[in-house]
Structure 1
Amino acid sequence: MENPEIAHSIKTGNFKTNYHDMGSGETVIFIHGSGPGVSAFANWRLCMPDLSENFRVLAPDMAGFGFTERLENSSYNMDVWVKQIIDLMDALDIKKTNLVGNSFGGALALSLTIKYPERFKKIVLMGSMGVEFELTAGLDQAWGYTPSLENMKSLLDTFAYSRVLVTNELAKLRYDASIRPGFQESFSSMFPAPRQNSVRDMASKEEDIKKIDKDVLIIHGRDDKVIPFENSIRLHSLIQKSQLHGFGECGHWSQIEHKDRFNKIVKDFFME
């Protein structure tokens, strides 16, 4: 059976990036989070078909995740991920794009916007990192994951507000993804203890965030145990042209837990 997580492949710098490319029109790049077993498809599978009705949707697997090529002795950090997105845009001849970033992807979206303001239009930050905060037990659990089905079930319980979404099938899918060759090696090297250091490394300077002069939509689940809701309140206070939407009865997965509302809000924001 064909694996829906594997889509197109293109050279970005010295490695190949696996990416999804759907629809036509103005471009929106979706950047996934950093949970174990994650891929662009796993994160955005419920958003891409809907948004691609009006936009060209691109969703890459970031270096070290999913089905993007893993080179031996690779190191993974914000500079590597920023360069990968810019290299992807250059390879596809995309001069300017909109961005959607989830969690880790939100921190990356902020970093990209600060370093290359001329390349980006509107930004959506969802359950975003990118400012300093005290490491949560949920994020420590995600980054410190060691592969087992029980650990994955427990982690998905932490991610989602409702048990309804955390099916055994989903846990098995994500667990199987987390034990693919090379995945755990690259994943465990990214966020070593003490993990507060990784929170700090992903944060942009607040004076740089304040200078962002773009329309920014900030979305967060009020009951998020992984990234504090207060992060988004802080980002909203820092970014002049921002709007903040909070979902009640929602954990870290607003694009899955409230997918129809999430898709509508994002689509409306980009179409304004």
Structure 2
Amino acid sequence: MTAADMGAANPALGRRVTAGGVDTNYLEAGGGDATPVVLLHGSGPGVSAYANWRMTIPVLAKSRRVLAPDLLGFGYTQRLESHSYTMESWVAHLVEFVDSIGLSSFALVGNSFGGALALHMTTLLPDRVRRLVLMGAAGVPFAITEGLDEVWGYTPSVPAMRRVLDYFAFDRELVDDDLAEARYRASIQPGFHESYAAMFPAPRQRWLDSMVVDEEKIKAIRCPALIVHGREDRVIPLKTSQRLSQLIPDAQLHVFGQCGHWTQIEHAGRFSALVDSFLNEGDHADN
């Protein structure tokens, strides 16, 4: 089977670029002169850019170039035995990624762990990040929740995956045995769990603390920010987004009711429309 055949068989396989010496898988769609947007996925077991953003990409791609990488240690990006999984290594890989594909400026959308990464990137590259969207984001201090501890402590089995998915979704109809089986299968592909288990070993509060961005750096963010959270989120508490909205000078907070940690899936249409409108506002303001 050729690489093209594999891509056709598996929609999570996209384009490849070498970023910091790492063969990196990423999805790309859309185009045009609008500010491109980079989507950063979360840290659930078996996650990939496709799993997180499959419903969001087609909407945003109508007006701009959309790029969604599999971050270091996740999805179909190359795994190396020498990799250490720290916020510094994730940031370094992402900087190399945007440089390798030639993005001089861009918007960022970060989900959960990806939200913390987006915060770090925005404070590191303030002249390049034009707009920031944080969805159920980490990045400010909080005590680890039971849900996040379950997610990061996942040991592969269908029942364990079902428990993880139960924490993610408010809408119980979204979580069934078929979805749990599919996500379990994704989590046990070669190399997937080995890298995942190396990222967040117990005690896990330390890894959450390592994602925190200094409040003074957050206060210094000057690009507009849209902060989104599910009211019933049991993985990342709503108070984190409330705090971020207080710290970032030009921020707006949107809370989805009857929504857990899966805003982009549970309220896919409304979430994508909200983000698309926010990004379009930035392009109009620049013209």
TM bucket (normalised to shorter chain) is: over 0.9
Question: CA-to-partner distance for each residue in 1:208-258, whole Å, 9 max, x for gaps?
Answer: 111111100000000000000000000001011000000000000000000
Question: CA-to-partner distance for each residue in 1:156-206, whole Å, 9 max, x for gaps?
Answer: 011000111112222112100111111111101111111110110001011
Aligned: 1:155 with 2:173 = no
The code of the aligned residue for 1:24 comes to G
Equivalent residue, structure 1, for 2:264: 255
Greater shift, 161-170 or 241-250, is seen at: 161-170
Equivalent residue, structure 1, for 2:5: none
Greater shift, 196-205 or 82-91, is seen at: 82-91
Aligned: 1:167 with 2:176 = yes
Q: Where does structure 1 differ by over 6 angstroms across 4 or more consecutive aligned residues? A: none
Aligned: 1:19 with 2:29 = no
5+ long unaligned stretches in structure 1: none
Equivalent residue, structure 2, for 1:3: 10
Equivalent-residue separation in structure 1 for 2:222 and 2:81 (angstroms):
39
Aligned: 1:185 with 2:191 = no
Aligned: 1:201 with 2:210 = yes
The code of the aligned residue for 2:149 comes to D
Same amino acid, percent of matched pairs: 51
Equivalent residue, structure 2, for 1:96: 105
TM-score, with length taken from structure 2: 0.93
Equivalent-residue separation in structure 1 for 2:82 and 2:157 (angstroms):
25
The code of the aligned residue for 1:196 comes to Q
TM-score, with length taken from structure 1: 0.98
| Equivalent of residue 40 in structure 1, options 44, 49, 57 | 49
Paired residues for 1:41-120 under 5 Å: 41-120=50-129
Structural RMSD (CA): 0.8
Equivalent residue, structure 1, for 2:284: none
5+ long unaligned stretches in structure 2: 1-7, 282-287
The code of the aligned residue for 1:224 comes to D
Q: Secondary structure at the match of 2:9?
A: coil
Q: Secondary structure at the match of 1:69?
A: coil
Q: Secondary structure at the match of 2:173?
A: helix
Equivalent-residue separation in structure 1 for 2:252 and 2:153 (angstroms):
33
Please state how far the C-alpha of 1:13 moved relative to its aligned partner: 0.8
Q: Secondary structure at the match of 1:131?
A: coil
Equivalent-residue separation in structure 1 for 2:176 and 2:59 (angstroms):
23
Equivalent residue, structure 2, for 1:245: 254
Equivalent-residue separation in structure 1 for 2:200 and 2:141 (angstroms):
15
Please state how far the C-alpha of 1:73 moved relative to its aligned partner: 2.7
Equivalent-residue separation in structure 2 for 1:121 and 1:172 (angstroms):
39
Aligned residue pairs total 272
Q: Secondary structure at the match of 1:18?
A: strand
Equivalent-residue separation in structure 2 for 1:158 and 1:89 (angstroms):
32
Equivalent-residue separation in structure 1 for 2:131 and 2:159 (angstroms):
39
